[in-house]
């Protein structure tokens, strides 16, 4: 008897599993592969004016045949669908009414937000849908676009077929260039903004029909809105201050219009907080090691210690100039801490941090920050001195 | 029982054998003993030349010594065994049943007037094919010898490879009507006694009218008849049997089939090949590892394909997803139907290829693989990716060293595909859990099927996924709990 019941239960169990299946089956050719989303201020203002919180949502949807077929290259491999909406989710639902293939965000690469939107909307609220959605990954890259965000999804890249994929690749290149902000993902945005920390997001602009990196946008953690921009040079300085450079090139001017090019190889980076009589200050020790890559100082002898020291000094000056500029901009003008000094203080002297926590950015703008940079040239390639020396 | 009267004896035997045309009754007079006699044998099972030269000639012609025909019956018996018949075995028997048995295996029974016994003369000699290379388990390097249908030849092959007095052949007769010879083979000093007893008791329990092939024995002694996995290993290779015996396993030989059963068996045993040990350890290990990869592909690839295409698109890299999406555009079926069509086609082709003669079989393969695949893609019924997936799966499943494992994996592949078609990746994982749970629970002669991985015998991992050099394999496997655990 018992045995028969067991079989019946087993059957029931399998049956229940089987009949609940298939509910979310969609073939891969039936989904709309969304690789990029742009959020813009609407083209025309509504009658109610600015109060109606509407925005344009642009989906960059891949057209697979044109992307993978033999004829790729002649046809446009993507389509942009724009809807006007009050919430992201409504906008997405609206897309389904326009295209037969319902959009899938599993392949989402880039979220492009226009500067206007970033300055007026709370980013955390804006991106809430994507953070909640299980389809979109937390590794989706976020960029701020100067001007219309959908323009970056409209520009056909040089080699790639898809502008969103291309943009995502460009953002990844940040590791190679010192003037580009390290990539910021949806996860980073959520992490930083939830803990009310400031955030620096790569900024993109369209130059001559091509999307191009151009500095960074600074988001204030407190209200999750954009408060200012950084130029590429300032980004370079910021990267040094944060010690986030993996690889990067710095040009230094020697005497008589000669220059040398230095490639950063490794950075040792340390922030120290100093509390003296209620006064808080910071010291940043940055040790940069790298290679001498290019110069037009020809006659010099690389084996000559003097030349190397001179080169190191020049680069050091250059880097100091960069960091000072960035500090001035972020600390004094924008009054935000984007270096991570607050976090360090919280670790190194928690009591003091507690006092300032509520109003940290304001307080930080008045604190002294000392930057010590030390440059060491470890290698100068396969060229030493001139062969014929007279 | 036999009587002293020749006439009644022949009558009884003839009645029992029936009036069959292949039964030969030859009456003769033994010249030297001056007695009437009769010989019974079955045409085709005996060596006629031997009967002629070694039995009829010496009995009917006058001998060198003149015995004058006045021997006592007792003397006659002794004389027949020791002097008159120069054949290797001459065995006196008393019972009619024994005579019958002897006749059926090709011996000749000699009945003599006045003696209440019959003489079984070993003239058995039926046609056997020579030992050939096993077709189902071909190797690059290794003996080209395979078992044959004759059990005596097979035992000889094993004896030749293990010259040890501890090698035991336990004879049984199975099948009430077929009365086939079955030998339980093991090495006394190595094999675990409990295992041997287990095999013996299971073999003794076999009760069926005929045992056609060792597959009958396999099914009659296995533990779980619902499992798709074989619980004894079958092989045509003597070297595999010898390796198994030296590991403390038990072999079961059946007359009339070249397939020898080995018990117990575990999944890793099914995945290993004798060649792993003939090649040097690095290639041996890598090839074995490759086989496990093939198992994985052949088990999971179609199921993963279905779940990636129909449910979990996000698992595919973007660019691949775009190209798959493009190639599937215009295919009318969901991936499930598509994959099933192609899988079933491949299975049919494979089955057809086996049944057909070798030369035509190849042609079928070419027609199937190239023409149907190509045409189906061009007609837009299936996508090229499906063809790739299905053919990769088929090729992987050909790389198994043993057909039994391959067939089990084939069955499981289809259940994986069904699970994937209902629940996507979740279904595949669920099915894998079912499968692993089943394998862990499954036992072959008291040995866990996944040993040495579950339960963990770390020492045996040296000969598990990899085959490490011989100096590391000092001990025999723990799986079979051998009496003598030291190999060298």
Whether residue B70 has pLDDT greater than 70: no
Which of A366-382 are b and which e, b meaning 16 or more Cβ less than 10 Å from the residue's Cβ? Answer: ebebebebebebeebee
Window from A83-97, B140-154, B156-170, B401-415 with minimum mean pLDDT: A83-97
Q: What is the pTM of this model?
A: 0.83
Q: How far is CA B117 from the centre of its chain?
A: 39
Task: Report the SS3 class of residue A112.
Answer: strand
Closest Cβ opposite residue B423 in set A21, A28, A29: A21
Given a contact cutoff of 8 angstroms between Cβ atoms, the answer to whether B312 and B425 are in contact is yes
At B284, which helix (H) or strand (E)?
helix B281-310
- CA dist B95 and B117 (Å) reads 8
State percent of chain B over pLDDT 70: 98
Q: Is B305 on the interface with A (CB under 8 A)?
A: no
Residue B258 has pLDDT above 90, yes or no: yes
Lowest mean pLDDT among A51-55, A217-221, B322-326, B336-340: A51-55
Ordered alpha helix ranges (H), B311-383: 318-328, 335-355, 358-366, 373-378
A59-73, B73-87, B117-131, B249-263: the lowest-pLDDT one:
A59-73
CB within 8 Å: B314 and A28: no
Each residue's pLDDT tens digit, A227-272: 989 988 888 888 888 887 777 788 887 777 778 888 888 888 888 8
Q: Contact B326/A17, CB-based, under 8 Å?
A: no
Mutation site for A-interface testing, chosen from B311, B315, B322, B417 by largest number of A Cβ within 10 Å: B322
CB nearest A64 (choices: B322, B335, B424): B322
Q: Which of residues 93-112 of B touch A (CB under 8 A)?
A: none
Residues of A in contact with B319 (CB under 8 A): 165
**Best of A7, A16, A29, A106 to mutate (most B CBs within 10 Å, chain B):** A29
Give the pLDDT band of residue A348 (cuts 50, 70, 90): confident
Spatial separation of the C-alpha atoms in residues A116 and B436, rounded to whole Å? 56
- Are residues A302 and A384 in contact, defined by beta-carbon separation less than 8 angstroms? yes
The reported pLDDT for the residue numbered A390 is 45
Tens digits of per-residue pLDDT, A174-207? 667 777 888 889 998 988 888 888 889 999 888 8
Residues of A numbered 322-361 whose beta carbons fall under 8 angstroms of chain B's beta carbons: which are they? none
Convert the pLDDT of each residue in B131-177 to its tens digit.
Answer: 888 888 888 888 999 999 989 899 999 999 999 999 999 999 999 98
From chain B, pick out residues whose CB is under 8 angstroms from the CB of A68. Answer: 322-323, 325-327
Q: Is the peptide bond before B218 cis (omega within 30 degrees of 0)?
A: no
Q: Give yes or no for residue A55 having a pLDDT over 60.
A: yes
Structure tokens that stand for B43 in this block: 């045409």
Q: Note which residues in 411-430 of chain B have CB less than 8 A from chain A.
A: 421-424, 427, 430
DSSP label at B461? G
Query: For residue B486, is pLDDT > 70?
Result: yes
CB of A227 closer than 8 Å to CB of A220: yes
| Token representation of residue A211 | 């999307």
Torsion, CA A178, CA A180, CA A181, CA A187, rounded to 10: -120
For A280-328, what is each residue's pLDDT tens digit? 888 889 898 888 877 776 655 666 777 788 888 888 988 898 889 988 8
Which residues are registered as beta bridge partners of A369? Answer: A282
pLDDT on residue B305 = 94
The answer, yes or no, to whether residue A343 has pLDDT greater than 70, is yes
Q: Is the pLDDT of residue A366 over 70?
A: yes
Is the pLDDT confidence value at B285 over 60? yes
Tell me the average pLDDT of chain B. 89
For residue B452, say if its preceding peptide bond is cis, omega within 30 degrees of 0.
yes
Q: In angstroms, rounded to a whole number, what is the distance separating the alpha carbons of residues B183 and B160? A: 17
Asked if pLDDT for residue A173 goes beyond 80, the answer is no
Mean pLDDT of B273-290: 92
Q: State yes or no: ipTM above 0.90.
A: no
Q: Do B321 and A28 make contact, defined as CB atoms within 8 angstroms?
A: yes
Determine what percent of chain A is predicted with pLDDT higher than 70.
89
Phi and psi angles of residue A157, each rounded to the nearest 5 degrees, phi first: -70, 170
Task: Please tell me the distance from the alpha carbon of residue A38 to that of residue A42, in angstroms, as a whole number.
Answer: 12
Q: How many residues does chain A have?
A: 390
**Rounded to a whole number, what is the largest CA-CA distance in chain A?**
108
């Amino acid at each position: 008897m018992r045995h028969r019941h067991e079989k019946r239960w087993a059957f029931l169990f399998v049956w229940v599993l089987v009949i609940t299946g298939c509910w979310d089956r969609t073939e891969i050719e039936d989904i709309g592969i969304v690789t990029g989303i742009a959020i813009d201020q609407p083209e025309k203002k509504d009658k109610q004016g600015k109060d109606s919180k509407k925005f344009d949502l642009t989906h960059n949807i891949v057209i697979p045949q044109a992307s993978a077929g033999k004829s790729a290259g002649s046809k446009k491999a993507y389509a942009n669908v724009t809807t006007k909406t009050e919430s992201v989710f409504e906008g997405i639902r609206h897309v389904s009414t326009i295209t037969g293939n319902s959009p899938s965000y599993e392949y989402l690469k880039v979220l492009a937000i226009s500067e206007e939107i970033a300055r007026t909307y709370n980013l955390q609220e804006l991106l809430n849908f994507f953070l909640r959605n299980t389809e979109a990954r937390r590794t989706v890259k976020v960029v701020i676009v100067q001007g219309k965000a959908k323009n970056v999804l409209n520009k056909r890249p040089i080699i790639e077929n898809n502008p969103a994929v291309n943009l995502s690749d460009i953002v990844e290149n940040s590791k190679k260039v010192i003037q580009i902000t390290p990539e910021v993902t949806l996860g980073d945005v959520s992490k930083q903004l939830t803990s009310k920390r400031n955030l620096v997001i790569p900024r993109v602009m369209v130059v001559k029909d091509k999307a191009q990196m151009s500095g960074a946008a600074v988001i204030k953690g407190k209200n999750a809105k954009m408060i200012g921009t950084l130029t590429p040079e300032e980004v370079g300085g910021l990267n040094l201050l944060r010690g986030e450079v993996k690889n990067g090139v710095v040009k230094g001017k020697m005497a008589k219009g000669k220059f040398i090019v230095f490639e950063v190889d490794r950075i040792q980076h340390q922030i120290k907080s100093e509390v003296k009589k209620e006064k808080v200050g910071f010291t940043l020790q940055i040790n940069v090691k790298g290679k001498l890559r290019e110069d037009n100082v020809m006659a010099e002898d690389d084996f000559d210690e003097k030349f190397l020291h001179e080169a190191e000094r020049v680069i050091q000056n250059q880097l100091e100039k960069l960091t000072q500029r960035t500090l001035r901009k972020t600390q004094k003008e924008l009054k935000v801490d984007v270096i991570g000094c607050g976090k360090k203080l919280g670790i190194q002297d928690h009591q003091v941090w507690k006092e300032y926590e509520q109003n940290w950015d304001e307080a930080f703008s008045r604190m002294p920050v000392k930057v010590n940079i030390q440059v060491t040239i470890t290698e100068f390639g396969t060229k030493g001195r001139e062969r014929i020396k007279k | 029982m036999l009587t002293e009267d020749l006439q009644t004896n022949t009558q009884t035997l003839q009645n029992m054998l029936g009036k069959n045309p292949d039964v030969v009754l030859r009456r003769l007079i033994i010249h030297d003993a001056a007695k009437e006699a009769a010989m019974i044998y079955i045409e085709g099972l005996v060596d006629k030349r031997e009967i002629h030269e070694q039995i009829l000639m010496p009995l009917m012609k006058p001998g060198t010594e003149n015995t004058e025909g006045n021997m006592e019956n007792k003397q006659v018996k002794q004389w027949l065994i020791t002097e008159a018949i120069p054949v290797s075995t001459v065995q006196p028997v008393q019972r009619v049943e024994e005579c019958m048995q002897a006749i059926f295996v090709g011996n000749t029974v000699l009945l003599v007037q006045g003696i209440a016994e019959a003489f079984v003369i070993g003239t058995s000699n039926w046609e056997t094919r020579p030992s050939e290379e096993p077709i189902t388990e071909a190797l690059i390097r290794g003996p080209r010898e395979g078992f044959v249908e004759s059990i005596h030849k097979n035992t000889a092959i094993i004896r030749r490879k293990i010259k040890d007095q501890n090698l035991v052949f336990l004879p049984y007769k199975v099948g009430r009507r077929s009365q086939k010879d079955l030998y339980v083979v093991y090495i006394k000093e190595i094999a675990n006694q409990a295992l041997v007893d287990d095999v013996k008791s299971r073999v003794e329990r076999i009760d069926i009218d005929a045992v056609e092939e060792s597959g009958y024995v396999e099914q009659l002694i296995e533990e779980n008849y619902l499992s798709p996995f074989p619980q004894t290993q079958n092989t045509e290779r003597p070297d595999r049997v010898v390796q198994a015996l030296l590991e403390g396993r038990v072999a079961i030989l059946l007359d009339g089939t070249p397939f020898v059963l080995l018990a117990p068996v575990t999944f890793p045993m099914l995945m290993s090949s004798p060649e792993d040990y003939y090649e040097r350890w690095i290639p041996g290990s890598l090839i074995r590892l490759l086989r496990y990869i093939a198992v994985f592909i052949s088990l999971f690839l179609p199921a993963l394909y279905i779940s990636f295409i129909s449910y979990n698109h996000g698992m595919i890299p973007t660019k691949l997803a775009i190209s798959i999406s493009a190639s599937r555009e215009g295919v009318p079926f969901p991936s499930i139907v598509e994959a099933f069509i192609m899988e079933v086609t491949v299975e049919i082709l494979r089955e057809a290829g086996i049944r057909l003669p070798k030369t035509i079989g190849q042609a079928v393969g070419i027609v199937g693989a190239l023409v149907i695949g190509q045409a189906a893609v061009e007609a837009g019924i299936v996508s090229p990716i499906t063809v790739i997936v299905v053919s990769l799966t088929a090729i992987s499943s050909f790389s198994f060293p043993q057909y039994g494992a391959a067939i089990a994996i084939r069955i499981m592949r289809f259940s994986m595909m069904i699970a994937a078609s209902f629940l996507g990746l979740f279904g595949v994982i669920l099915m894998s859990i079912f499968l692993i749970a089943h394998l862990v629970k499954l036992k072959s002669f008291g040995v866990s099927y996944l040993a040495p991985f579950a339960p963990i015998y770390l020492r045996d991992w040296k000969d598990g996924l990899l085959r490490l050099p011989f100096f590391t394999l000092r001990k025999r496997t723990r799986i079979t709990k051998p009496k003598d655990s030291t190999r060298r």
